[in-house]
Structure 1
Amino acid sequence: MSRISRRSLLTSGAAAGVLAASGMSVNAAPRSGGALSVALAGATPNDSWDARTHSGLFMQVAAHGAVFDCLTEIGPDGALRGELAESWEASSDARVWTVNLRKGVVFHNGKKFGARDVVESLALHRGVLNTSPAAPLLAPLAEIKVITDHQIQFILGSSNPDFPYLLADHHLIIYPSGMIELAMVQGIGTGLYQVEHFEPGKRLLARRVSEHYKGNSSGFFGEITLLNEAAANARTEMLETGVVDVISQLSAHTARESVENRRVKLHRAQGNQYISMSLSSDIRPDQKNDLMRALRVGINRQGLVDEVLLGYGRVAQDTPIGPQNQYFARDIQSSTYDPDQARFFLRKHGLDEMNTGALSLPVHDRNARALSSQGVCTNVELGHSSGRIIEDWALSTFATKAGVCGLDSSVSTLISAARSEMDSWRRRTLYQDIQVVMQETGPMAIPVFADHLFASRQTVMQPSTIGNMRTLDNARIAERWWHA
């Protein structure tokens, strides 16, 4: 995966307009027109355009992937580029970031985009008691200064050479100032697609705007339709019968079967998505350490990859820093499967087994028994995450998910030090230390990384490189793909 050098990131926002960062082949000739229909999961009847509530895939694809924009965008190759931010420059200590905003951008209601829109939009995620999922990302932000209508300054409490990456978070979409509540109801953004009809929990119809700052390089479909369908089998049938063009979140079994189906294309993106296993909240504090040891050594990790993920994944080392992260410690060995040692730790507390309970994961939702057969024996709770493109982002998100279990204080200290470290070599050492400590004392077991699996009709075309940080080309399929 390509990553811009931090020197470039600090000085100019160098990837903002580079063709190589688009993921599009030089010889590709996208054709504009036609309609894209996608069946995906994750919508609820309570959905709105309030990005603070956007946890499901449906609203991620709809909001930051179509109707709204963020300040920055993670390209298909993992490189950072500008979206509503045209360029940026950091102070020598990476504590003050000056961002130049695009001129000539308008919201769907005709309002011109400017600095106040950024300030008011990001204020939704700031404050000590703020519960937005993006609040931990902006917690180090001390102040936002408006320099001109198209230039702002972010002043951080401490150095962070990766700060522009955080502004690409899908929660940090930009609304029109003075009318944010209205925009959250009607879906008023600056994106390539304007809301035509939105039925929360069920359907979105959006049409391509006639004029856009991205020009003709993105947003090739004339309209897009997103349909919510929670059942994986139903999504597969919708694709095979031609009801939709694309489906998300295939199970491993469906992915294997689709390889033999000439009517569809399987898309496999190998990113940082992981499955996590944590102790349930009813575990006593005096049991925690031994039961976590039992969990780590009681998982047949390769068995999970082979029999549950059917090869669509890789063994992990119990940390959220993944193989697509710059400072992923590839030389750390995963815990060795040792059921006898796991039983020893369990019996110290009068337990015979640990159970996962019901398995319900987008990466595999058909065969819970396969998981239990791999040594993962209503004490263990399962989860998953798409992971993140930079280490600090991944760790901040992980810490939020860890909740009451929390991170060891030594890890929190290392995370703060790594976040502000300017020297790349020292930073690498700090992140490697974090991974070693988390493997031994972390509040969750992360046994495997799981590929993003989705499928399309043969007539749907895609760039030569697709994003692997989230499914459906980083949830930006509406603006990056096209019809043959």
Structure 2
Amino acid sequence: MSDFPTLDRRGFLAATAATALMMPFGAYAATPRKGGELRIAMAGGSSDNSLDPRAFTQQVQRVIGVAVCNQLVEILPDGQLVPELAESWESSDAVNWVLRIRKDVPFHNGKILDAEDVVYSINLHRGEGSTSGAKSLFDAIVEVSASDTHEVTLKLGGANAEFMHTFADYHAMVVPAGFEDWSNLIGTGGYVLEDFVPGVRATLNRNPDYWKSDRAYVERVVLTVTNDATARLSALQSGSADIINQLDRKVAPFIMRSDALELVRSPGAVHWTFICAFNAEPTNDNHVRQALKYGCDRQAMLDVVMGGLGSLGNDHPISPDSQYYNGALEQRHFDPDRAKYHLKEAGLDELSLELYTSEAALPEAVSLSEVYQSKAGGAGINLQVVRRPADGYWTDTWMKRPFTVSSWLNRPVDQTFSLIYGTGSSWNESYWSNARFDALLAEGKGTLDFEKRKEIYGELQAILHDEGPSVIPVFADFLDARSTRIKGFEPSSVSDLSGDRVIERVWIED
């Protein structure tokens, strides 16, 4: 895949950040054009999708969610956390927080946003009865109340210096107090939902009363769920779609050579993982998990499947570009002898295991699994790749089989540790539990000194590297593609499709 320019990863990140800051709103800010219909062909939707933010698992839900609703805070493409519906916030001890809510912001039904709406939206995700995927994040709040018409006061169970990032989680949409009609989602966002057919399509119209004057340029949006990569590319090439996500990496060079199309590359925005269930045999044995880690040829996955568009993972979820990254850990490589040693320690001469995979997790999931299978045999590990359909994978297979594929977007470090590995988290996909890990995580969240917090988070990475349930071979760059008539499409460190916010950020030039 030599068609890609040679640029080291940190150099690429610096260049991308500079482009994100200078190009779209520097080069285009004076000329955004209102109007037109934006057509998006998207992977990441299925027939069991709901627009209840508590149930968000896939990108179609997220993209619709942030088009219809706003959040208290927003993460810009360069990673900066900025106010959205929370105009400002303050805390002197990282336990007690005061949020001042923006005034004169109308919901689509005409109601004006106030503190009670924010409290209701927060409480959807916390408490014993909550079904939210972000429950473990919001249960950190022990008290929350509307202390004034446009002021929310909350208290945490322990100090968390980075707690405001919680409100950028993709579940954290703000809806009117008492709202329950999730099939007809309303919010304060730039677009009003016209219709939504799960796993098929969504249609949205521009909100004429949107409180942001510099967003939501397109008049109408038609989003079509297109999980097949070839069909998405065909839609873009034929002009029936203006934007597609999850571009097949094999065709990226073609897009880069096209005069009518453009590649949009979001660096290191996701890590891919093979989940070893902690509550099932044989993956509850750490020697088996270690064997699976050493039996994974991650360099082959990076080179063959990803065309070098990413970086090596080291079996913990913190990317090499994070300020908290523990670079002192030995980089794990394919080592058949060490894999066999761990199998022997587990009392096994060889290991036979089904690996459940699906394009629902990522477009390259099947290819990654097949590379894993082809290499692991030399380490005494016989993997049987079981391909599942994208529709229903997250409800029928994920968290229900001993060895499965998953993927995670970049999140703040404390959220990543809490959601994926915290004991009792509803999204602890491996059911892993480690008392020392939980204690260190609580300590790290409450540590206001950055260097001390970095040391603690480094130790958490070491625990996951040596004992954890995840084989994390690579951090992947997300690839979208757009027609050149689409302007203002910024790559984001959060995820693809401009951190899910592509609908309100772009405009059309014919």
- What amino acid is aligned across from residue 505 of structure 2 in structure 1? R
Which residue of structure 1 aligns with residue 27 of structure 2? 27
Q: Structure 2 residue aligned with 1:440, among 449, 461, 466?
A: 466
Q: What is the one-letter code of the residue matched to 1:419? A: K
The residue type paired with residue 407 of structure 2 is H
Q: Does 1:77 align with 2:78?
A: yes
CA contact (8 A) 2:70 2:85 kept: yes
Give the corresponding residue for 2:370.
369
Return structure 1 stretches of 4+ with deviation > 6 angstroms.
20-23
SS in 2 for 1:273: strand
* 8 Å CA contact retained: 1:272, 1:449: yes
1:48 paired residue number: 50
Task: Name 1:118's counterpart in structure 2.
Answer: 118
TM-score normalised per structure 1: 0.89
Give the unaligned 5+ runs of structure 2. Answer: 1-8, 10-19, 378-382, 385-401
Q: Post-superposition shift, 1:321? A: 1.6
Contact 1:208 1:219 in 2 (8 A): yes
Give the corresponding residue for 2:15. none
Query: Structure 1 pair 24/86, CA: closer, same or farther in 2 (3 Å)?
Result: farther
1:356 alignment counterpart: 355
Which amino acid in structure 1 is aligned with residue 492 of structure 2? G
Q: 1:96: Cα distance to partner?
A: 0.9
Selected match of 1:62 from 57, 61, 64? 64
Q: Equivalences for 1:410-449 in 2 at 5 Å?
A: 410-449=436-475
Q: 1: CA distance between counterparts of 2:478 and 2:52?
A: 26
Q: Secondary structure at the match of 2:26?
A: coil
User: Partner residue of 2:170?
Assistant: 170
Q: Matches of 1:281 and 1:409 in 2, distance apart?
A: 14
Q: Which residue of 2 aligns with 1:17?
A: none
Q: How does 1:3-402 map to 2 (within 5 A)?
A: 24-28=24-28, 29-64=31-66, 66-90=67-91, 92-178=92-178, 180-182=179-181, 184-215=182-213, 217-280=214-277, 283-284=280-281, 288-347=285-344, 348-352=347-351, 354=353, 356-358=355-357, 360=359, 361-365=361-365, 367=367, 368-375=369-376, 377-378=383-384, 380-388=403-411, 390-399=412-421, 400=425, 401-402=427-428
| Displacement after TM superposition at 1:256 (Å) | 3.8
What's the secondary structure of 1:270's corresponding residue? Answer: strand
1:60 to partner: Cα distance = 0.6
Identity, in percent, stands at: 30
Residues 102 and 25 (structure 1), Cα distance of their counterparts in 2 relative to 1, 3 Å cut: same
Deviations along 1:423-454, whole A, 9 cap, x unmatched?
A: 11111111111112211111111111111111
* C-alpha separation in 2, matches of 1:287 and 1:187: 41
Q: Is the 8 A contact 2:295 2:336 kept in 1?
A: yes
Match of 2:14 in 1: none
Worse-superposed segment, 469-478 or 401-410? 401-410
Q: How many residues align?
A: 460
Distance in 1, Cα, partners of 2:136 & 2:21: 28
SS of 1:451's equivalent? Answer: strand
Per-residue deviation at 1:156? 0.8
Distance change >3 Å, CA 287–CA 417, structure 1 → 2? closer
| Deviates further, 305-314 or 251-260 | 251-260
Q: Letter of the aligned partner of 2:127 in structure 1?
A: G
Residue 161 to residue 356, structure 1, CA distance change in 2 (3 Å): same
One-letter amino acid of the structure 1 residue matched with residue 252 of structure 2: A
Considering only aligned residues, what root-mean-square deviation do their CA atoms show, in Å? 2.4
CA displacement 1:436-473 (0-9 Å, x = unmatched) = 2211111111111111111111211125x521211101
Report if aligned partners of 2:279, 2:430 keep a CA contact under 8 Å in 1: no
* In structure 2, distance between residues paired with 1:358 and 1:419: 34
